[in-house]
Amino acid sequence: MAAEDPSASTETHASPIKAARQSGKKTSSKAAGSASKTSEKLARLGLRKDMDFVLHLPMRYEDETAIIPMHDAALRGGSTVQVEGVVTASDVQYRPRRQLVVTISDDSGQVVLRFLNFYGSQLKQLAMGVRVRARGELRHGFLGAEMVHPGYKIVNEGAPLPTALTPVYHSGEGVPQALLRKAIANAMTRVNWRDTLSPARLAALGLQGFEASVRTLHNPPPDVDQYSLMEHEHPAWERMKFDELLAQQLSLKRAQITRRSKGANALPVTGELSNAFLLNLPFSLTGAQEKVLAEIRADLRETFPMQRLLQGDVGSGKTIVAALAATQAIDNGFQAALMAPTEILAEQHFRKIAAWLEPLGVKTAWLTGSLRKKEKEAANLLIASGEAQLVIGTHALIQDNVLFKKLGLVIVDEQHRFGVSQRLNLANKAEAGKVPHQLMMSATPIPRTLAMTYFADLEVSVIDELPPGRTPVVTRVIDQNRRDEVISRVHAAAQEGKQVYWVCPLIEESETLQLQTATDTHAMLAAALPGIQVGLVHGRLKPAEKQAVMDDFIHNRTQVLVATTVIEVGVDVPNASLMVIEHAERFGLSQLHQLRGRVGRGAAASVCLLLYQGPLGGTAKQRLATMRESNDGFEIARKDLELRGPGEFLGARQSGEAMLRFANLETDQWLVEKARNLAADLLKNDPLTVAAHLERWLGNKEEFLRV
Ligand code: ADP
Ligand code: MG
């Protein structure tokens, strides 16, 4: 990838960091070595070209413009203040552990500075009589007002104070703020400041100029409205947010246009197979399923590839829709592929869809990583010869040696579990010059602002209705101490013929420990539930073993299934109506919602018990409360986004994450809409501006989006 080689870049590539170093001391070979180490560290922060540095905007500001008299400062305990005084006591204490304790005083009072780690040089530096300016969080300690590990410097009496706010930059370990500031200042002398948006456009949008905005943010003038600067509401911030949103829109829309320009095979006919399938269904489609199916069918008739995201809450019935889309490809003489993120889910899809379609004469193939070599070869043969009309599997489908004869449609289930490149790989498996139609499915509903930004390159269909006859799952949050009561409840439910999932705690640090816990829990429940069959499923089982366990549960030979999170996605056993999740506080919101979606799939009223171990932190409390109060996937996703931010929320689609650093999708909706409109206009009418804007804001990052 050319973009990774900085020398191939068109922008001037004077290294801002070397310049910053050289302006100091003469470069010895040792200094040069550490400069290149520093460059590496900076590159890790995404800082390579001058413009990267210029757009590395402060993460926050510190107010060092005023000195607070110590007496007044003491009244503001808990806040960050700057004080200045002369050292009146300084010594090393050993209780409770070795520390340097320095007292400084001014006319109004005194403050203790406490250093738990310190160098000998600091001890010398902070000698009696020396004047110190210290900045930190003031607390009320044993000796009165104190600061632990304050920032400080030695000053002369009357040393000038900064007149403006001091920017603080996001920096990695070993990258001092001063160095970053200098590098940014150097870069600012060299970049091309030309505004990518004309004065007329800016006026129409009510935005201020690029250069003025950047300069304000790096070097806030003394009279700036500090509040709006700190809160990211200043017009300078608005311009930056708008610019990055515009870059994101341009880039996604352009990627979409590029993909559209590659042809796809039109799949117009919904023939015999589709019709037979619909006739054979034991139920009729919901209105929402009908609606999204119509949207998908219309897309498939086009000669450019469908790029559609199908969203629907857990249990809303996406699988049928996927199968119907597949029949349309098959009716047209093409192959369809369905990729799922786990073996359990892929297998379940396979069984279900094969059971629907094989009686109608459709030839299916099954491909996962755990197949024996012979089986894989056989599957590959079926796929390559075109004999297999529908192929279902896991990541194994995107291996190089899997060649399709005539791939017309790719369906990706739980798309957020896959990386962008994995989806891309599957999309590349059509014949040369053609791209297959793509249907991506997700049970994590995406809030509207997110859909408008990160998924601006996809068409979105939503199944916003559950099949009839479902009763909402009742959720209770219960202290782990009451586990015995919960076990009795499980016992009673099982005796009434209900089936139960018991989900073991997530132990991120250790898979072994997680496995151990699952095994222990299984033994404990088997002993505590006489007369009840208890199964155990976890990620370490061989696929055949896993399937045997699942089969026992599906056919009600076991009533209680102890499981790790392998059951998170897609598992469908309608008779299961009670779920217990241990240490629910360790799970994320969407994960809890997915897990809970395993019950409430049949007609029986279902219950989900979230056991937690107190004391709970703030977000954990909010997560559990959200689960108790809502069954609505959209509402839960909105809350999840609020608690985690878009980067984590979107997971694998990191591509977008790097693109939005400043805009806040909760509060900047109005900017999103403006950016979207301008992007459409520019793509139609002004390719030069598009190119300039993308180069400035995305440089080499855009590669990620060529999906
Ligand atoms: P998800 O959207 O979570 O993938 P599934 O496709 O697994 O949901 O469907 C959940 C359950 O609802 C399945 O048992 C499926 O057979 C059933 N189902 C799907 N559509 C309908 C419908 N229109 N009427 C009744 N049941 C349906
Ligand atoms: Mg599903």
Beta strands (DSSP E) in 549-652 are 560-563, 576-581, 607-612
Say if ligand 1 is within 6 A of residue 464 CB: no
Question: 483-525: per-residue pLDDT in tens?
Answer: 999 999 999 999 999 999 999 987 767 778 888 889 999 999 9
> Among all ligands shown, which has an atom nearest to the Cα of 414?
2
Residue of the CA atom closest to atom 10 of ligand 1: 315
| Rounded-to-integer distance, Cα 600 and Cα 607, Å | 8
Structure-token match 């007149």, residue found: 163
The pLDDT mean for the chain works out to 85
Instruction: Report d(CA 398, CA 483) in Å as an integer.
Output: 44
**pLDDT recorded at residue 151:** 87
- The pLDDT score that the predictor gives to residue 33 is 62
Distance (Å) from CA 315 to ligand 1 centroid: 6
Question: Which residues are CB-contacts of 198 (< 8 A; sequence separation ≥ 6)?
Answer: none
| Mean pLDDT along residues 691-703 | 78
pLDDT for the residue 562: 94
Ligand nearest to the CA of 321: 1
Say what percent of the chain tops pLDDT 70: 89
Domains contained in the chain, CATH given: 16-61+168-231 (no CATH), 66-161 (2.40.50.140), 272-463 (3.40.50.300), 474-630 (3.40.50.300)
Query: Is the CB–ligand 1 distance for residue 310 below 6 Å?
Result: no
Distance 462 CA to ligand 1 centre (A): 15
The predicted pLDDT at position 654 comes to 39
**Residue 221 carries which side chain, given as an amino acid letter?**
P
- 558-580 mean pLDDT: 83
Q: Please, which pLDDT band fits residue 652 given cuts at 50, 70 and 90? A: very low
CA quadruple 113, 115, 120, 122: dihedral positive or negative? negative
When pLDDT is cut at 50, 70 and 90, the band that residue 6 belongs to is: very low
At residue 199, does pLDDT exceed 90?
yes
Overall average pLDDT of the 377-398 stretch? 93
Q: Which ligand is nearest to the CA of 310?
A: 1
CA of 393 to the centre of ligand 2 (A): 14
Among 12-26, 37-51, 272-286, 672-686, the minimum mean pLDDT is found in: 12-26
Ligand 2: distance of its center to the CA of 596 in Å? 13
126 CA distance to ligand 2 middle (Å):
65
Confidence band of 204 (pLDDT split at 50, 70, 90): very high
Q: Which ligand is nearest to the CA of 311?
A: 1
Tell if the pTM clears 0.85, that is, is over it.
no
For the cut 60, the answer to whether the pLDDT of residue 29 exceeds it is: no
pLDDT at 651 over 60: no
Ligand 1 centre from 537 Cα, in Å?
A: 23
Residue whose Cα lies nearest atom 20 of ligand 1: it is 317
Q: What was the pLDDT predicted at 705?
A: 47
Q: How far apart are CA 445 and CA 10, in angstroms?
A: 40
The least confident of 159-168, 527-536, 652-661, 677-686 is 652-661
Question: Which residues are CB-neighbours of 650 under 8 A, at least 6 positions away?
Answer: 416, 450, 454, 656, 657
Mean pLDDT is lowest, of 11-15, 157-161, 443-447, 618-622, for: 11-15
Residues near 253 by Cβ (< 8 Å), separated by ≥ 6? Answer: 456, 457, 679, 680, 683
pLDDT in tens, 516-568: 889 999 999 999 999 999 999 987 888 788 888 988 999 999 999 999 876 65
Ligand nearest to the CA of 289: 1
In the predicted structure, residue 121 carries a pLDDT above the cut 70: yes
From the CA of 289, how far away is ligand 1's center (Å)? Answer: 10
Query: Which of ligand 1's atoms lies nearest the C-alpha of 463?
Result: 2
Q: What percent of the chain has pLDDT over 90?
A: 48
Closest residue by Cα to atom 26, ligand 1, is: 467
pLDDT band at 76 (very low <50, low <70, confident <90, very high): confident
Give the Å distance between the CA of 569 and the centre of ligand 2.
Answer: 7
Pairing type for strands 390-393 and 307-312 reads: unpaired
CB of 572 sitting under 6 A from ligand 1: yes
**Which ligand 1 atom is at minimum distance from the Cα of 601?**
11
Which residue spans within 538-606 are E strands per DSSP? 560-563, 576-581
Q: Average pLDDT, stretch 34-54?
A: 85
User: If pLDDT is split at 50, 70 and 90, which confidence band does 2 have?
Assistant: very low
Ligand 1 contacts CB of residue 285 (under 6 A)? yes
Q: Is 316 in the pocket of ligand 1 (CB under 6 A)?
A: yes
Provide mean pLDDT across the span 314-320: 89
